[in-house]
Structure 1
Amino acid sequence: MISIKSTENLTGARISGDFWDFEELVHALHHITTLDDLQSSYEGVCIRVLGVCYDIRLAAQGKHNIEFVKNGMQKDIIKSQNVIVPEQNVYLSVEVLWPELLFTTIALNELYRLQQEHNNGHGWNLHMTTIRKFQANVIDCLKNSMDPSDFKLFINMLQVHQTSIVEYAVQYIDLLNLKFIEMAPEERQANLLTFAYKIAFEDTEYLVLKKQLLETASITKSPIHKMKIPLKYPKEIKW
């Protein structure tokens, strides 16, 4: 079962699960980012979500972290069944920066709705159920990472959020990621809600960046999500 916990310094969250948990989530993320006729309008958002998916796939291949988790097999059970079995399972994990994970969670809400409306998706689809469970895990993690009053506001924001992510300037998430990395741990906790609002409601900083990107895109004739901005992530992140 997938579990999500904030990292020690609240820089991001650690997504953990076994190989099959990650395989299920990877397939679900690929499913929900396939939008047929709407693909071009949401291409940047889908690519961004698939970036998180790629990290999860790498984790499934053992290229990030490996953990050992108790599997519930107790000595009396082993003795009564007269078998030799391990008492721990191998779990895999990967860290994702909080702004990135907040964006993914918010974006999945709209991608879920689009699947239902345009691709005849329904709530009983296994992939769609996996997506909702993943979002629920993120939100449960936030409940333990946010001030209770902030968490209530965050849940309300998810319920009323109506700003579309069509042709979203995904480069803005890189800016937020880098700002979040530079913060002290106590600042990160205090600003989780602020960053969620920045992503969901297109603040002034976002609108200025998107205007600049659109102006460049009109000259180069390239899609907005392919515009490059000079940003550099640190080689090591203190999770």
Structure 2
Amino acid sequence: MLTLQNTPNHAGVKISGDYFDLEELNKAIYHVIGDENKYLHYTGSRTRILGICHAIRQAALGERNVETVFNGLTDHAKKQKSFISPDKNIYFSTEVLWPEILYAAVALKDFVRLHREDAAFPDWEPEVHVITHFQSLVLDCLHGQVPEAEYQVIMKTFSDTAPVRDYAVQYIDFLNLKYIDMAKQQRENALSSVAMKIATQDSDYNAFRQQVLAAATPSKKAIHEIQFKADYPEKIDW
């Protein structure tokens, strides 16, 4: 079963599941976002989501975290069925920063909408339901980390988010790095604000986007092609 949990120091979310859970999520994401020649105004968002897919894929291959989880098989059940079996399953997991996972939840709304417009019978595609389940897990995990009144506002805002067409995805790097630099309590206090910034495309985001567009204009580059000049730390205090 796919699960999402807040990391101990509130830096992000740990995505956990067995091999098949993680592969199912990756397959669904690839199915919905399409190939690189589709939805060209969402190339930056697609690239960021594929970054999460890469981390999930590495986790499924055992290259991230490996843990054991009780599978529900009790000694009584084993005696009744007369067989010997482990009572734990192997689960794999990877961490994703809070701003990154929240943006993915928002951007996937657009990809699901675009996919629905192209697909013949999207309501019957299991991949669409896997994606919406994943988005609900992200917001449910957020629910446990912010005050209820703030969460209700966030939920309404996430339900009415503007499209992320030609989004300045460098802004997520900016938020990620600010969030990494915070202490545990600061992260906890700032999480609602970060969620709202991603959902609303507020004045700070719009000012940031104008800077990116100004950098893109002389070289006639697309907005997603402008590099954000800052390095992530090798180790994150998750």
Q: Structure 1 length normalisation: TM-score?
A: 0.95
C-alpha displacement of 1:121: 5.4
Give the drift of 1:37: 7.1
CA distance in 1: counterparts of 2:14 and 2:36, whole angstroms: 32
Deviates more, 1:212-221 or 1:163-172: 212-221
Q: Sort the Cα spacing of 1:216 and 1:152 in 2 relative to 1 into closer, same or farther, 3 A.
A: same
Alignment partner, residue 48 of structure 1: 48
Q: CA deviation at 1:120?
A: 3.9
Q: Secondary structure at the match of 1:220?
A: coil
Unaligned runs of 5+ in 1: none
How many residues align structurally? Answer: 238
User: In structure 2, what is the equivalent of residue 72 of structure 1?
Assistant: 72
Q: Output the CA distance in 1 between the equivalents of 2:121 and 2:202.
A: 32
Ranges in structure 2 where 5+ consecutive residues have no aligned partner: none
Change over 3 Å in CA distance of 1:80–1:238 after alignment to 2: same
Give the secondary-structure state (helix, strand or coil) at the position aligned to 2:206.
helix
Matched, 1:30 2:43: no
Matched ranges for 1:1-239 at <5 A: 1-34=1-34, 38-120=38-120, 122-161=122-161, 163-239=162-238
Q: What are the superposed Cα offsets for residues 164-203 of structure 1, whole Å, 9 maximum, x if unpaired?
A: 2001110100000011111222222222221122112222
Look up the equivalent residue of 2:129 and give its one-letter code.
T
Instruction: Using the TM superposition, give the Cα deviation of residue 210 of structure 1 relative to its aligned residue in structure 2, in angstroms.
Output: 1.7
Greater CA deviation, 67-76 or 179-188? 179-188
Per-residue CA deviation, residues 27-47 of structure 1 (Å, 9 max, x unaligned), is: 011111117875211111111
Which secondary structure state, in structure 2, belongs to the residue aligned with residue 47 of structure 1?
A: helix
- The TM-score, its normalising length taken from structure 2, stands at 0.95
Q: Distance in 2 between matches of 1:36 and 1:238?
A: 33
**Corresponding letter in the other structure for 1:28:** A
Identity %: 37
Q: Do 2:157 and 2:200's aligned partners in 1 also have CA atoms closer than 8 Å?
A: no
What secondary structure, in the 3-state scheme, does the structure 2 residue paired with 1:228 have?
coil
CA deviation vs aligned residue, 1:117-172 (integer Å, no higher than 9, x gap): 234452221100100111111111111111111111111112222x2200111010
Secondary structure at 1:46 match in 2: helix
Distance 1:43 1:26 in 2: 18
Q: How far, CA to CA, are the matches of 2:85 and 2:222 in structure 1?
A: 54
CA distance in 2, matches of 1:234, 1:38: 33
Comparing 16-25 with 73-82, greater Cα deviation is found at 73-82
AA matched with 1:57? R
- Taking only aligned residues, the RMSD between alpha carbons, in angstroms, comes to 1.5
Cα shift at 1:208: 2.3
Deviation at 1:94, TM superposition (A): 0.3
What is the SS of the residue equivalent to 1:91?
strand
Identify the range of structure 1 (52-61 vs 118-127) with the bigger mean alpha-carbon deviation: 118-127
The aligned amino acid for 2:90 is: V
Q: Following the alignment from structure 2 to structure 1, what is the Cα–Cα distance between the partners of residues 124 and 180?
A: 38
* Residues in 2 aligned to 1:15 and 1:178: alpha-carbon distance in whole angstroms: 20
1:3·1:137 contact (CA, 8 Å) conserved in 2?
A: yes
Find the aligned partners of 1:58 and 1:64 in 2 and give their Cα distance: 6
Question: In the aligned structure 2, how far is the partner of 1:206 from the partner of 1:35?
Answer: 28
| Offset at residue 206 of structure 1 (A) | 1.9
Would the aligned equivalents of 2:212 and 2:223 in 1 still touch at CA under 8 Å? yes
The residue type paired with residue 24 of structure 2 is E
Deviations 1:65-124 (A, max 9, x none): 001000011111111111111110000000000000110111111211111123445222
